[in-house]
Amino acid sequence: MAQVILYNVTNGLIIGTFYVLMALGLSLILNLSNVINFAHGNFLALGGYLAFTLSPVLGYWGALLVSPVLTALIGLAVERLMVRRIYGRDPVYSLLLTFGLAFVMQDMARYIWGPNGLPLGLPDILSQPITQELFFITWYRVFMVAIVIVSVVGLFAFLRYTRVGLRIRAGTFDLETVSVLGINVRNLRTFNFAVGCMLAGLSGVLAAGQIGLNPNMGDDLLMPSFIAIIVGGVGSLIGTLFGGLLIGMAAALTTVVYPAASEAVIYAILMAVLLLRPRGLVGEEGMMS
Amino acid sequence: MTTAVVAGKPAEKTSAAVAGLAGRQRIVLLIAIWAALATVPFWLPLLGGYTALAGRVLVFGLAAMGLNMLLGFTGVLSFGHAAYFGLGAYGAGLTLRYLVHSTPLAMLAGTLFGGLAGTLFGLLIVRRRGVYFAMCTIAFGQLWYYLAYSWNSFTGGFDGLRDFHREAIGWGALTLDIGNKPTVFYFFLLAVFAAAVALMGFLLRSPFGRTLLAIRENERRARFLGIPVERHIWLSFSISCFFTALAGTLYALLNNFADPLALHYSLSGYFVVMTVIGGMRTFWGPLLGAAVFVVLQDYISSMTVNWMSFIGVIFILVVLFFPRGLLGTRRYAAK
C-alpha cells in the first residue's frame, strides 16, 4: 500500500509539473497580452515532435536544448503575423484566432508526423530505475522534476532580476504607463509570447519521453492548465505554480482511492475556489473582474 | 453609440440594431428568411442538399442565436455554450431512453436540465469579465464533457447515447409522425424554432432587452443609472442557456443520438464562429452564420481528411479580415 501511495504521489508530482510549465506559459501570455492561447497545447506537441525529428541528428541532449528554442521562434512568428493584430480588440477575436490556430497546428502535426503515436528515445542512463525497491521511479522522472524546478526558478529569477523581466511584470499591472515610459510594448509582448511558447515546447519534450507523442497530446493538458490558472488566481504566477501542483497532486491521490473520479476532483476544486475564494488562492482582489 | 439609451433619436438606431436592419429592408429580410425556411424541403434537394442538413442549420442556428443574446446583445463572452447544448441533448435523450416515450416531455426535461445548470453556474461567475469570464465558462463546460465521457453505464461513454428515438406527437387523427417522416420532422423543427425566435425577439425588444444593450454599450454608465448590472448579466446568461439547451434537445431528436462531442468546447467555438460569421450584433446573423458554417463543414469534410486545417483557416480569416460578419458589414455599409 505504501508503494501504491508513493507511486501515485510521484505521478502526481510529475503530472503537476507538466501542468505548471504549461500553465506558466499560458499565464505569462494571458497577463501581459490578455489573450487565452488555445494553441498552447499544440506548441507543446510541436516541441515534442521537433525533439523527435532532431534527436537522431543532435542526440537527446541537443534536442532537449534546441527544440524549445525552435518552438519559441515559431511562436514569435505566429505572434508577429497574427496574434498581434487582435490586441485591444474584443476578447472574442483572440479566442477564435488561437482556437483556429490550434486546429491548423494539430492537423499539420498529423499531416507531417502521422496520426499514430511515436516514441521519443531516451538515453540509457535515464531509463534505469533508481533502486530495486523503487522500480517504478526511473531516473527520467527525477530528471524531469529537476528540469522543471530549474526552469521555474530560472523564470522567476528572470522576471525579478533582469530589465526585460521587470518590464514584463510592470506591464502586467499597468501596460499604459509602461508604454508612456518609452518602452516598446509591441516588442515586449512578442518576446513574452515567445517565452510562453518556449515553456510549452520544453514541457512537450519532457512529456514526449514519458507518454510518447501524438498529434493531440496537448489537448489533455490544456484544460487542467486553465483550471490551474483560475485556482491559483489570475494575474499571479506564484498562484499558477501552486494551482498546477495542487490539482496534479489531487488528481493523482484520488486515483489511489477511486480512479474514475480523478478528473472530476479537478473540477470540484475549481468549483470550490469559484464559490469560496473567487479571486483564486493567491490572486489579487479585482484582478479577475 | 454610448448615448443610445438616453437620447431619443439614437434609441431608434438601437431598435434597428435589434433587427439588424431598418424599416422596409427589415420587412423584406424577414419575408425572405421565413419564405426560404418554409420551402426548404422543396428546393434543397434540387441543389444537392438533404433535409437533415437544413435541420442542422436550424438547430445550430438556434443555439448560436441563443449565445448571441449574451455575446452580441449583452457584450459578455461565453466560450462554453456547448455545455448547455449538450446537457439539453443528453437531458432529452436520457428522458426518452429511461423515463417516458414522449417527445414534448423529453424536450422540456432537456431544456430545464441545461438551462438550470447554466443558471446556477452563472451565479458563480457573474462578477467576472472579459477573457476571465470566458475561461471560467470553458473550464466548467469541460466538466460535463468528462462526466458524459466517463459515466459509461449511464451515458454510453465515448460512443454516445443510443437506443432512443423521437416519438410521434399528438393523439389519434391529429398525430404528427415526426419519427419516420423527415419532412414532417423538419416542419416540426421549424415550428419550435419560430416560437423560440419569436420569444427571443420579444425579450430583446422589451425594456429588459434594452437594458442589456445599455450594459453592453457602457457598463459603468448603466450602473450609475441604477441598473443592477450583475443581475441582468446573470439573467441574460441564464436565458441564453435555456435557448441553447432547447436547441440541444432538438439536436438529440434530429440524430436520435447524443454524444460527448456535443458537450466539447470545440462546439462552443463553432457556435461563436457562426455568430461572428453572420454578424455578432445582428439578430439574424447567427442563423446565417450557422447556414454558412454547416454547409462549408459538410462540404469540406466530404472532400478532404485535412478538414481541421480548413476549418481552422476559416476561423483565422474571419477574425483577421471579416470581424463584423455578413449582416454586420451590410449594416455598416448602409450607414
B312/A264 touch (CB, cutoff 8 Å), yes or no: no
Q: Does any CB of chain A come closer than 8 Å to the CB of residue B126?
A: no
CA dihedral sign of residues B304, B305, B309, B315? positive
Q: Is the pLDDT of residue B3 over 50?
A: no
What per-residue confidence (pLDDT) applies to A119? 85
Task: State the distance between the two ends of chain A, measured CA to CA, in whole angstroms.
Answer: 45
Q: Which of A234 and B233 is assigned the larger pLDDT?
A: B233
A288 or A153, which is more confident:
A153
Does the pLDDT value for residue A281 go beyond 50?
yes
How many angstroms separate the CA atoms of A79 and A101, rounded? 11
CA distances from B275 to B18, B186, B191, B217, B311 (A): 14, 23, 22, 19, 15
Q: Tell me the shortest Cα–Cα distance from A33 to chain B, in angstroms.
A: 11
pLDDT at B37: 87
- Yes or no, beta carbons of A226 and B139 under 8 Å apart: yes
Please tell me if residue B269 touches chain A, with a CB cutoff of 8 Å: yes
Residues of B with CB below 8 A from A226's CB? 135, 138-139
pLDDT at B330: 55
In terms of pTM, does the model score above 0.90? no
Beta carbons of A115 and A215 less than 8 angstroms apart? yes
The pLDDT confidence band at residue A150, using thresholds 50, 70 and 90, is: very high
Q: Are A56 and A261 in contact (CB under 8 A)?
A: no
Question: In chain A, what residues touch B276 (CB-CB under 8 Å)?
Answer: 92-93, 96
pLDDT at B14 over 70: no
Domain that holds residue A192: 20-218
**Collapsing DSSP states into helix, strand and coil, what is residue A280?**
coil
Domain assignment present for residue A120? The answer is: yes
- Least confidently predicted of B164-168, B172-176, B292-296: B172-176
What mean pLDDT is predicted for residues B85-98?
92
- B192-to-A12, A105, B197 alpha-carbon distances in Å: 49, 39, 9
Residues of A with Cβ-Cβ distance to B147 under 8 angstroms: 264
Dist. CA B70–CA B280, nearest whole Å: 10
Please give the share of chain B, as a percent, with pLDDT higher than 70. 90
SS3 A21: helix
Determine the pLDDT at residue B172.
65
> Which of the four pLDDT bands, split at 50, 70 and 90, describes residue B139?
confident
Chain B residue whose CA is closest to A273: B124
Rounded Cα distance, B112 and A166, in Å: 50
Say yes or no: ipTM exceeds 0.95.
no
Is the predicted pLDDT of residue B7 greater than 70, yes or no? no
Q: What confidence tier does A258 reach under pLDDT thresholds 50, 70, 90?
A: confident
Among chain B residues, the shortest Cα distance to A223 is held by B139
Residue A125 lies in a domain: yes
Residues facing residue A213 across a β-bridge: A118
Domain ranges of chain B: 17-334
Cβ partners under 8 Å of residue B90, min gap 6: B110, B113, B148, B155, B161, B248, B252, B258, B262, B263
pLDDT band at B190 (very low <50, low <70, confident <90, very high): very high
Residue B239 vs residue A173, higher pLDDT: B239
Asked if residue A239 is part of any domain, the answer here is: no
- Is B17-334 in CATH node 2.40.10? no
For chain A, the domain total comes to 1
Q: Residue B5 above 50 pLDDT?
A: no
Is residue A255, in this structure, part of any structural domain at all? Answer: no
Task: Look at residue B267 and tell me whether its pLDDT is greater than 90.
Answer: yes
DSSP string, B133-147: HHHHHHHHHHHHHHH
- Give the C-alpha separation, A93 to A73, whole Å: 23
Q: pLDDT tens across A80-111, in order?
A: 999 999 888 888 899 999 999 999 999 999 99
Q: Span B103-126, mean pLDDT?
A: 91
Q: What is the pLDDT of residue B21?
A: 56
Q: From B183, B178, B134, B147, select the one nearest B258 (Cα to Cα).
A: B147
For the cut 60, the answer to whether the pLDDT of residue B16 exceeds it is: no
- The whole-number average pLDDT for the span B196-222 is 92
Q: Alpha-carbon distance A210 to A232, whole Å?
A: 26
